[in-house]
Chain A
Amino acid sequence: MLREYREAVLADEDRRSMDQARVLLAGSFCEQPPLGLLRTLERAGCYIVDDDFVQVHRWITGDVRADGADPLGDLVLAYLKQGIASPIRYIDEQVKGQALVERVERSGAEGVIFCAPSFCDPALLDQPMAVAAIERAGIPWTSFKYAGNTGQFQVIREQAGTFADSIKLWSE
């Protein structure tokens, strides 16, 4: 499917990037938010250049050791030591939010949208700490919650539109 997608993208000669704000979407790590929400954000003037959707599928960074004598042990170690920084993990001695700041830099995002499902404890309890780190780094951000079962995104559309405008017009 990926291959087909890649070919289709390359075949479309008419592709051009629009003038949109590059944003990182944080807080929807448990699942993929409704497609309508993503479409709304893009139409409101944002390009989502990084996200944490379905984070469990990309939990382990790098390769798990494949030539050790204790494969189970290696799997456990990879889980413990090579896991991504996420609100759902407790990491000793971490600088909260630092990993997010680094992702912003890597992806070239111009701002962060915290977009968590309502009542998502890990995302929402974590957010003030992530926001503090983002603010220390001077990165613009905004936040809202969504309900998984809704198709109504008018308020989000307005907020995302204002945010994209403020990045495009006033960010240094």
Chain B
Amino acid sequence: MSKQASPGNVAAAALKDQSQERQKAMIAEHFRKLAEAPERGEKCVYTFVPGNLTELIDSFGLLPVLPEINALQSGMRGKSRDYIGLAEKLGHSEDVCTYVKCDIGMLKSGNIGPTGERLPNPDLLLLSYTGCFTFLKWFELLGQEYNAPVAMLHVPYQGDGVVTDSMRTYVVDQIKKKVIPALERISGRAYDEEALKERLARSAQAEEDLVWVLESAKRRPSPIDAYFGGVYYIGPIFTAFRGTQDAVLYYRELRAEIEERIALGKGPVTPDGEIENERYRLVVEGPPNWTSFRKFWQMFAEEGAVVVASTYTKVGGVYDNGFRHDPNRPLETLADYCMGCYTNLNLPTRVQMLERYVREYSADGFLINSVKSCNSFSAGQLMILREVERRTGRPGGFIESDLVDPRYFSASNIKNRLESYFQMIEQKRAGGA
């Protein structure tokens, strides 16, 4: 980043925090295990971030693989352009989700994961269907590519904005009758409820600390960026580590670090240093772009824009509404977790959530990053924009990009839009003063 371009909102680059180092080590260890799995005879389960049943998978001694995470990592490592190109050459439409094409392209290029090690083939595709239709097709495609069995967990959409008893029973029944037998079959182990409960108890601990960290952004200045920084904070709990002791330690450490930042009155850390002058507080809806993640973040940081709350950081589980995994109701709590994931919520609930964020986090406005790939996010976003604007009276902004297709990230367009959006906030302030 050019320092000249910075209006003094960002200080010199910071050292990596201890929690970051821990997360890095956890990830490296996990991918090492995956690479060695075929040799050691360990089995693995591919599944999705929303509605992942990590505690259950882990209780059978199985290793989870999350294709979405691999795709976003491929995007960050500059590999996605070629992977997507290859998938399109193989007949996948240019119109469909680029995560899917990135994953298929990676598979066809030797299935080398984010750490440079080979990923094992799936022994089971655990298809948790939580509000994203693409998931169905993604695992049908992988089922055909790997000739692997698929276990379908159909999670009912919260169309009326509530979870009813019969919805919960419907999911629990499937976990009992479909998912657990499939996991038993490939692991050769019987279902161990005590083992599951232990993991769920650890999940709840980590969730408690995660929520504390996310809510720390209610302070002024916010000690965190809850979108660009947030995606790192949700990493462990959204992926392979929920329910592990590592995750408990990570979140305890992270919380301590943030407590320290608060005590020192510091702003969020960015890859280019700290934001010292918090000029705009924003709520962001929609996933980030991964291919130009750092550049995207810089566009905010340079302007002193801090994201104080985001919906993307709820995609693998909404915890700031009080939900915690409950070891006393192991399967019911997994069902509630699945049904509560952000993309499984109806539009009125999403609007309410955004409205609450704008108010509780004292945001100056909210911004939608509408990604071409993701219909489960994008459908209804213009309505959301108008409605949140109407209810909060704060200006809404709208930018467009994509998850991992670099062809749909136009830095100059986005920068222009952001600049005029920030101006709009300034005008609003001047008018209100």
Interface residues of A (CB under 8 A from B): 87, 90, 92, 96, 116, 118-122, 124-129, 131-132, 145
A-B contact pairs, 20 of them (CB 8 A): A90-B140, A90-B152, A96-B140, A96-B144, A116-B93, A118-B95, A120-B95, A121-B137, A122-B133, A124-B92, A124-B93, A125-B92, A125-B97, A125-B134, A125-B137, A125-B141, A127-B93, A128-B92, A128-B141, A129-B140
Q: For residue A129, which residues in chain B have a CB less than 8 angstroms away from its CB?
A: 140-141, 144
- CB contact list, B152-200 vs A, under 8 A: 152, 154
**Shortest distance from the beta carbon of A133 to any chain B beta carbon, whole Å:** 10
Does A125 contact B96, Cβ atoms closer than 8 Å? yes
For A131, the chain B residues whose CB sits under 8 A away are 91
**B137–A122 contact, CB under 8 A?**
yes
Residues of chain A with a CB closer than 8 A to B141's CB: 125, 128-129
Would you call B144 and A90 a contact (CB within 8 A)?
A: no
Nearest B residue to A128 by beta-carbon distance? B91
Asked if A121 meets B91 with Cβ closer than 8 Å, knowing A90-B152, A96-B144, the reply is: no
Which residues from chain B contact A128 at a C-beta distance below 8 Å?
90-92, 141
Q: Which 9 A-B pairs have the closest CB atoms?
A: A125-B137, A124-B93, A119-B95, A128-B91, A124-B96, A90-B136, A125-B96, A124-B95, A118-B95
Q: Which of B107-133 contact A (CB under 8 A)?
A: 129, 133
Q: Is B375 an interface residue (CB 8 A)?
A: yes
Q: How far is the CB of B370 from chain A (nearest CB, A)?
A: 14
Question: Nearest CB to that of A129 among chain B residues?
Answer: B144
Contacts of A92 in B (CB 8 A): 150, 152
Residue of A nearest to B372 (CB): A119
Q: CA of A125 to CA of B137 in the docked complex: distance in angstroms? A: 6
Closest to A94 in B: B140
B97: chain A residues at CB < 8 Å are 121, 125
Q: Which residues of B contact A145 (CB under 8 A)?
A: 93, 95
Residue of A nearest to B90 (CB): A128
Instruction: Give the residues in chain A near B338, CB-CB below 8 Å.
Output: none
CA of A129 to CA of B93 in the docked complex: distance in angstroms?
12
Q: Which residues from chain B contact A96 at a C-beta distance below 8 Å?
A: 140, 144
Closest CB-CB distance, B26 to chain A, in whole Å? Answer: 33
- The closest CB in chain B to the CB of A131 belongs to B91
Smallest Cβ-Cβ distance to A95: which chain B residue = B144
Q: Contacts of A120 on B, CB cut-off 8 Å?
A: 95
Give Cα A116 to B95, complex, Å: 11
Q: Give the number of residue pairs across the A-B interface with Cβ within 8 Å.
A: 51
Is there a chain A Cβ closer than 8 Å to B100's Cβ?
Answer: yes
Chain A residues with CB under 8 A of B100: 125
Residues of B within 8 Å of A126, CB to CB, are: 137, 140
Which among A126, A128, A129, A145 has the greatest number of chain B C-beta atoms within 10 A? Answer: A128
- State A116–B141 Cα separation when bound (angstroms): 18
Cβ distance A61 to chain B, nearest Cβ, rounded Å: 21
* Nearest-Cβ distance from residue A87 to partner chain B, whole angstroms: 8
Q: Which of B97, B136, B141 has the most CB of A within 10 A?
A: B136
Distance A145 CA – B136 CA, assembled complex (angstroms): 22
Contact of B133 among A118, A121, A127, A132 (CB under 8 A): A121
Digitize B137-148: 1 where CB-to-A-CB distance is under 8 Å, 0 elsewhere: 110110010000
List of A residues within 8 angstroms of B150 by Cβ: 92
In the complex, A132 Cα to B144 Cα: how many Å? Answer: 10
Q: Which residues of A contact B96 (CB under 8 A)?
A: 121, 124-125
C-alpha gap A121/B93 in the complex (Å):
9
Q: Which residues of A contact B152 (CB under 8 A)?
A: 90, 92
Taking the nearest CB of chain A, how far is it from the CB of B149, in angstroms? 9
Complex CA gap A131/B90 in Å reads 11
Bound CA span A121–B378, Å:
13
Contacts of B375 in A (CB 8 A): 121
CB distance from A99 to the nearest CB of B (A): 14
List of B residues within 8 angstroms of A116 by Cβ: 93
Measured CB to CB, the nearest residue on chain A to B149 is: A93
In whole Å, how far is B11's beta carbon from the nearest beta carbon of chain A?
44
Q: Which residues of B contact A87 (CB under 8 A)?
A: 137
A residues in contact with B134, CB < 8 Å:
121, 125
17 more contacts with CB within 8 A, not counting A121-B133, A124-B93, A129-B140, are A90-B129, A90-B136, A90-B152, A90-B154, A92-B150, A96-B140, A96-B144, A121-B97, A121-B134, A121-B375, A125-B97, A125-B137, A125-B138, A126-B137, A127-B93, A128-B141, A145-B93
Q: Please name the residue on chain B nearest to A143 by beta carbon.
A: B91
B169: shortest Cβ distance to chain A, in Å?
16
Highest count of chain B CB atoms <10 Å: which of A87, A90, A116: A90
Give the chain B neighbours of A125 by CB distance below 8 A.
92-93, 96-97, 100, 134, 137-138, 141
Q: How far is the CB of B165 from chain A (nearest CB, A)?
A: 19
A88 to B240, CA, bound (A): 30
Alpha-carbon gap, A153 to B96, bound state (A)? 22
**A127 close to B91 (CB less than 8 A):** yes
With the chains together, A91 CA to B26 CA distance in Å?
Answer: 37
With a cutoff of 8 Å between Cβ atoms, the chain A residues found around residue B92 in the complex are 124-125, 128
Residue of chain B at shortest CB distance from A88: B133
Min Cβ gap B66→A in Å is: 19
- With a cutoff of 8 Å between Cβ atoms, the chain A residues found around residue B140 in the complex are 90, 96, 126, 129
Q: Which residue of A lies closest to B93 (CB)?
A: A124
* Complex: chain B residue closest to A125, CB-CB: B137
